[in-house]
Structure 1
Amino acid sequence: MKISERAEYATKPIPLTCNPGDMVIDAVKRMAGKNYGSIVAVDDDQHILGLLTERDIMKRLVAENRDPAKTTVGEIMTGSVRTANENDELIDWLRIMSNERFRRLPIVDSDNKLVSIMTQGDFVSYTWPELMGQMKNLAKATFGESLTLPRILAGVLAYSVVIIIAVGLIS
């Protein structure tokens, strides 16, 4: 499934943006006002120049005792930002983000202009119902139609009793 095909994609709010020359204090105030964990640094044509995250602020501003009123976003932002196209496969990006350990993915159009930003949490919440459906189908294929909620609960209860007895015998 493509990123743009998710119903939720159309309802994402416009990403918070700034200029790399803006002072960090102003960017942080805007982030705090929206309760966002990042702000995208763009040029006048909405091309991405960098990304300022809470982690950048902690590592490159606070930890270095820099003054947020005298430090520009461009001085502390992450400059090399991975971007996806709205027509890319959603699952591919979830895997990439997980493997490369980043949580925010700016989405660009065919002209490389910022159109949205997706988080790893967005991708997980969007794919969660599909993963649950796959688990259900796998369970049915493995155990047949006889696998019902009461039988699952009885199995968990029986397993718990066995563990409690085993722990009691060992102690």
Structure 2
Amino acid sequence: MQIKDRPEFSSKPSPVVLPETEFVSVAVEIMAKRNIGSVVITDEARRVRGIVTERDLLRRLLGNHMDQDTTRLSEIMTSEVRTARADDEIIDWLRQMSNERFRHLPVVDEEGRLINILSQGDFVSYTWPELLSSFRAKAGETLRSGSAPIPILIGAMMLYTLAMILIFKAF
């Protein structure tokens, strides 16, 4: 499935963009007010120049005891930003985001202009139905074969539910 085919891609509000000359305090205020985890740094043509995430704020701003009112976004932004295209395959990016440990993926057009941004949480909604379908199939096979006692199945379902609750609380 391609990125552009996901409902999250077209239904999300426009990503927040700021110039690299803006002060960090402006980004922090916007991120807090809108409950978002990143702002994309673009030039005048909306070409991606960088990204500032909660991780950048923690490690680069707070970790270096910098002042959000006098520090420019260019001083703390991640400049080497991975960007996707709308016709890229979701599963490829899900794997890359997991392996390379980044949570925000700007989606750009052919000229590198920002179209949208997806987060790891958006990708989780892609995998959730697939996981449920797989679980149903395995549970059905096990019940039909009679090889697993009911208490073990109930315990496994409870453990799975608890794991999903903990995972979703992390997002």
Gapped runs of 5+ residues in structure 2? 157-171
Q: Which residue of 2 is the match for residue 57 of structure 1?
A: 57
Gapped runs of 5+ residues in structure 1? 160-171
- Structure 1 runs (4+) deviating above 2 angstroms are 134-140, 142-147, 151-159
Render the CA deviation track for 1:131-156: whole Å, top value 9, x for unaligned. Answer: 2213333454x447567xxx874444
Label 1:154 to 1:47 Cα distance change in 2 as closer, same or farther (>3 A): same
Count of aligned pairs: 155
State how far apart, in whole Å, the 1-side matches of 2:118 and 2:149 are. Answer: 36
1:126, CA displacement in angstroms?
A: 2.1
Q: Secondary structure at the match of 2:30?
A: helix
Calculate the TM-score normalised by the size of structure 1.
0.81
Percent identity at matched positions?
A: 44
Q: RMSD of the TM alignment (CA)?
A: 2.2
Q: Which residue of 1 is the match for residue 30 of structure 2?
A: 30
Q: Which residue of 1 is the match for residue 169 of structure 2?
A: none
Calculate the TM-score normalised by the size of structure 2.
0.81
Residue 66 of structure 1 aligns with an amino acid whose one-letter code is M
Residue 26 of structure 2 aligns with an amino acid whose one-letter code is D
1:119, CA displacement in angstroms?
A: 0.8
State how far apart, in whole Å, the 2-side matches of 1:6 and 1:45 are. Answer: 26
1:22-101 map, 5 Å: 22-101=22-101
State how far apart, in whole Å, the 1-side matches of 2:124 and 2:61 are. Answer: 30
Q: Which residue of 1 is the match for residue 125 of structure 2?
A: 125
Point out the structure with max Rg over C-alpha.
1
Residue 3 of structure 1 aligns with an amino acid whose one-letter code is I
Q: Secondary structure at the match of 1:121?
A: helix
Q: Which residue of 2 is the match for residue 164 of structure 1?
A: none
Residue 40 of structure 1 aligns with an amino acid whose one-letter code is V
Label 1:12 to 1:152 Cα distance change in 2 as closer, same or farther (>3 A): farther
